[in-house]
Structure 1
Amino acid sequence: MGQIPTIKPDLRYDYTATLIKDGLYIIGGATPDGKTPNYPFLFLDISIPFDTKQLKWHDLSNLSKNDIVPSHKSAAAIKGGADNNTLFLYGGMNLENNTMSLVCTLNNLSWDTPKINGTPPNGKLFMTPVIDYNGSSSQSYWSSNPSELEVLRQHNTELEAKVAELEVFRQRNTELEVEKAKLEEVWRSRVTLQEKKLPSLKTRMRGSGRN
């Protein structure tokens, strides 16, 4: 595995990060503008001291240049298998309209698509993998988080609720404006009435002064 300390990986999001023994595997993800990042498959050896400001990444992207693991984001990854040496990659959203298997495994730096029995979870995006290690055996559980469509629907529901609150505020503001206008009209009427009474009041006061 050749080390390339000078590479500078693109900023990315929705990638997977899996720790297997003394190695950290970063797979997939997308750049802020939604494109495939450079070096989509990275490995960091954590068995030796490293500087977080100048990480010495291994580029394993050539292992993904096939039909098994195309460019993707929002997948889930976890270690498992015999001795927890196998990386399981599940689901994800393809970035380049290529066919992508639901489950892929990486063992000894070789990708494979295992045969999966049973019924898979409904979703394949934003999954949360959990591993239960018991002696020499391991089991992996996958809990489905909301799909992107469900997340958008939830956001839309929240926005609609905020719009409804804003409409209530606007309605209340309109009512207050109407109430203010009524009070101002009452005040003007009283002022006008007092102004009309003022001449006769002055006349009476002058008459009272002469007597």
Structure 2
Amino acid sequence: MAGKSNFHANLPILDGKNWDTWVKQMKVIFIVQEADEQVNTVFEKITNATTSKDAWDILQKSYGGDAKVKKVKLQALKRQFEFLEMKSDESIVDYFTRVVTLTNQMKNCGSTLNEEEMVEKVLRTLTHKFDHIVVTIEQTKDLSEIKMEDLQSTLEAHELKHGERNHGKEDEQALFVKFKKYQDEKKKWQNKKGSKKGKERVEDKPESSKKEEGGQKKKKDKSTI
């Protein structure tokens, strides 16, 4: 209790002019306090231990997990690894992060998965847009000598080039669609304008012309009879 009282009494005071210094001091204090609390928690767990081995076993079970628990976890992680594959909208960076995170969890549970198996897994589970580069890598490289970070760099470069090409195609397609729409609207406007002019010509004809046309039509009808 006395330690905590002294801790609070020694907190730096913010006076409105020492913001930068105050922030740095508070960060250090929070880190120290968190570490102190963590140490106290550990000591509480091993208080009743009579030997160093007892203390180690207690800590291993508390933080490392029991062997049976690890075995069950490993089986579950292996199933996840088996069905793991790249999503259609996922980037190389994000997919590699998922792969590495999962394999690290497996290793913590006792897995002996090596880097070559990780490389093979990645190459098998990429999306179709990487098919060409995958074939090239498999035919020209020894997979046992490829590092995950090197593979990631190669695939990122391919992803970038593929994205640039697609972006160019998308721009061309968008331009074509806009041009086609413009042509259709122009044609529609011209047809509408032509129809309107034809109607105006009929309406603007003199009455005499309309009567003559009417008379000619009647004569034609009589001759037909």
TM-score bracket, shorter-length normalisation? 0.3 to 0.5
Q: Which has the higher helix share?
A: 2
| TM-score, scaled relative to structure 2 | 0.37
Structure having the higher Rg: 2
